[in-house]
Amino acid sequence: MILFWTLGALLAAAALAIAARPLWRRRVAGAVSREALNAAVYRDQLRELDAELASGALAQADSERTRQEIERRVLEDFSREEAKGGQGGNRFVAYAALAVPLLALAVYFAVGNPGALAPQQDDEVTRQQVEEMVARLAARLKENPDDVQGWKMLGRSYSVMGRFGEAAEAYAQAARRAPRDAQVLADFADALAMAQGRNLAGDPEKLLVRALEIDPANLKALALAGTAAFDRGDFAVAASFWQRMLPLVPADSEDASTIRENVAQAQARAGIAPAPAAPKAAPRAKLAGTVSLSPGLKARAAPDDVVFIFARASEGPPMPLAVLRKRVRDLPASFALDDSMAMAPSLRLSAFPRVVVGARVSKSGSATPQPGDLQGASAVVANDAAGVKVTIDAVVGEKPARP
């Protein structure tokens, strides 16, 4: 308990310094109840599995496969809050502002006493089981080192447990095998920075540069890159990185509000005058339409999967000219893309008369296409077209079925 209270005090001081307590309070209550419920379900499943194996109703090989699947789900649930920082979800608004509360919750579950909040649950057993599962996952990866998803999961699990040096090593293994996975690079940078005393200078920042070259819309990489710039006193660059996050979160969300506050603070430190209020007139180019998911692919998408809606020049640079982020549960959804959603000042929708609108369901939360993602695209349209229809009807990495 001494370790818990020491870490808790340090994390609480940091959280107070960045004034993130309202968001932290809302997340704790929901996370505790979900943890307790999921832990009970998984414990029951493991007990039933052991009973079936002992009775001879289940073969040893089948039991092991089922146990590994249960353990995979446990570790995913255990690390989900930390993983949301990047994938997508990436709900990072600023590195310090959200990483500290999430880490506090993770440390609490790792070394504290959640039973005080849910006394009916045997959380001591749950923690021990999670630690054993992490150890077994690490052992399996020594035998099967090419399992990229396994290394990602191990990195997330170590991060939640506060073992950042080991998390960085796990992400390094994943990055060697998936060098074009922007989310892995962002997670690697995060863990490495935590391992070296919350310092993003040096190798962590180099990893973030690579991540943003691959995926300019990666929320976690943008947040961390902005924080790195802020920490070294490059406030204008920090504001620029954080501004690029705004089109990727709902405009009326608390995330957007916090991002705008961070941008304003960085601009003030840089001596940049606040931008004048934008005129009410519509942007020079506004592209509108609807995105829907093909009925044949609905079973392959979860309601919380991220959907990226973007416009690219029909002839020109491959980088998106405007990006909008939604969820599968929002589909079918109307969209409107304009210059305010540009990922770079020099690449705006209004500068390219002919564009293609694409939409992709990202299973990983990354804007970079991954095998298994679902995607669709429109025909070539004008950059101010209305009524554009996009149907997500193809799977990345799979050949379309012949009629």
Number of residues that make up the chain: 403
On whether residue 365 sits in a domain, the answer given is yes
- At 347 the three-state DSSP class reads strand
Asked if 211 and 178 sit in the same domain, the reply is: yes
Asked if 228 and 359 sit in the same domain, the reply is: no
What gap in Å lies between CA 183 and CA 92, rounded to an integer? Answer: 13
Asked if 230 and 294 sit in the same domain, the reply is: no
What gap in Å lies between CA 103 and CA 28, rounded to an integer? Answer: 11
- At 22 the three-state DSSP class reads helix
Query: Lowest-pLDDT range, 251-260, 297-306, 389-398?
Result: 251-260
Determine contact, residues 250/343, Cβ cutoff 8 Å: no
With a cut of 50, say whether residue 63 has pLDDT above it: yes
Per-residue pLDDT at 62: 66
Asked if 36 and 76 sit in the same domain, the reply is: yes
With a cut of 80, say whether residue 238 has pLDDT above it: yes
Per-residue pLDDT at 120: 41
On whether residue 297 sits in a domain, the answer given is yes
Asked if 89 and 229 sit in the same domain, the reply is: yes
Asked if 306 and 346 sit in the same domain, the reply is: yes
Tens-place pLDDT, residues 307-329: 999 999 998 777 888 888 899 99
Per-residue pLDDT at 79: 52
With a cut of 90, say whether residue 337 has pLDDT above it: yes
Per-residue pLDDT at 73: 57
- Quote the distance between the C-alpha of residue 232 and its chain's center: 25
Helix (H) or strand (E) holding 307, with range, is strand 306-313
Q: 50-67: string of b/e by CB count within 10 Å (b at 16+)?
A: eeebeeeebeeeebeebb
On whether residue 202 sits in a domain, the answer given is yes
Q: How many domains does the chain have?
A: 2
On whether residue 281 sits in a domain, the answer given is no
Among 220, 240, 270, the domain-final residue is: 270
Per-residue pLDDT band for 242 (boundaries 50, 70, 90) equals very high
Asked if 265 and 295 sit in the same domain, the reply is: no
Asked if 41 and 135 sit in the same domain, the reply is: yes
Owning domain of residue 240: 2-270
344 vs 387 pLDDT, higher one: 387
Task: Compute, in degrees rounded to 10, the torsion defined by CA atoms 155, 159, 163, 169.
Answer: 30
Determine contact, residues 31/23, Cβ cutoff 8 Å: no
On whether residue 16 sits in a domain, the answer given is yes
Asked if 257 and 310 sit in the same domain, the reply is: no
With a cut of 80, say whether residue 373 has pLDDT above it: yes
Among 246, 270, 294, the domain-final residue is: 270
Asked if 244 and 295 sit in the same domain, the reply is: no
Which tokens in the block code for residue 12? 């609480």
On whether residue 360 sits in a domain, the answer given is yes
Q: Which residues make Cβ contacts (< 8 Å) with residue 43, sequence separation at least 6?
A: 122, 125, 126, 129
What gap in Å lies between CA 19 and CA 215, rounded to an integer? Answer: 30
SS (H, E, C) 50-65: HHHHHHCCCCHHHHHH
19 vs 188 pLDDT, higher one: 188
Per-residue pLDDT band for 185 (boundaries 50, 70, 90) equals very high
Among 229, 244, 270, the domain-final residue is: 270
Per-residue pLDDT at 350: 87
Per-residue pLDDT at 6: 39
Per-residue pLDDT at 64: 67
With a cut of 50, say whether residue 331 has pLDDT above it: yes
Per-residue pLDDT at 207: 96
Per-residue pLDDT at 225: 94
Please state the φ and ψ torsions of residue 57, each to the nearest 5 degrees.
-75, -15
Per-residue pLDDT at 247: 81
367 vs 359 pLDDT, higher one: 359
What gap in Å lies between CA 380 and CA 171, rounded to an integer? Answer: 39
Helix (H) or strand (E) holding 395, with range, is strand 394-395
- Paired sense of beta strands 388-392 and 286-293, if any: parallel
Asked if 185 and 327 sit in the same domain, the reply is: no
With a cut of 80, say whether residue 14 has pLDDT above it: no
168 vs 55 pLDDT, higher one: 168
> Whole-angstrom distance between the N-terminal and C-terminal Cα of the chain?
64
Domain with residue 53: its CATH number is: 1.25.40.10
Per-residue pLDDT at 317: 76
pTM above 0.85, yes or no: no
Nearest to 187 by CA among 172, 176, 201, 206: 172
Tens-place pLDDT, residues 67-115: 666 555 555 555 554 444 443 333 333 443 434 333 333 433 333 434 4
Query: Lowest-pLDDT range, 189-203, 210-224, 363-377?
Result: 363-377
Sign of the torsion angle spanned by Cα atoms 170, 3, 37, 47: positive
On whether residue 401 sits in a domain, the answer given is no
Per-residue pLDDT at 239: 92
Per-residue pLDDT band for 275 (boundaries 50, 70, 90) equals low
Per-residue pLDDT band for 133 (boundaries 50, 70, 90) equals confident
Which tokens in the block code for residue 4? 């818990």
Which tokens in the block code for residue 23? 């968001």
With a cut of 70, say whether residue 384 has pLDDT above it: yes
Determine contact, residues 325/335, Cβ cutoff 8 Å: no
Nearest to 106 by CA among 13, 11, 26, 227: 11
Asked if 25 and 106 sit in the same domain, the reply is: yes
Sign of the torsion angle spanned by Cα atoms 323, 324, 327, 330: negative
Neighbours of 202 (CB within 10 A): 12
On whether residue 280 sits in a domain, the answer given is no
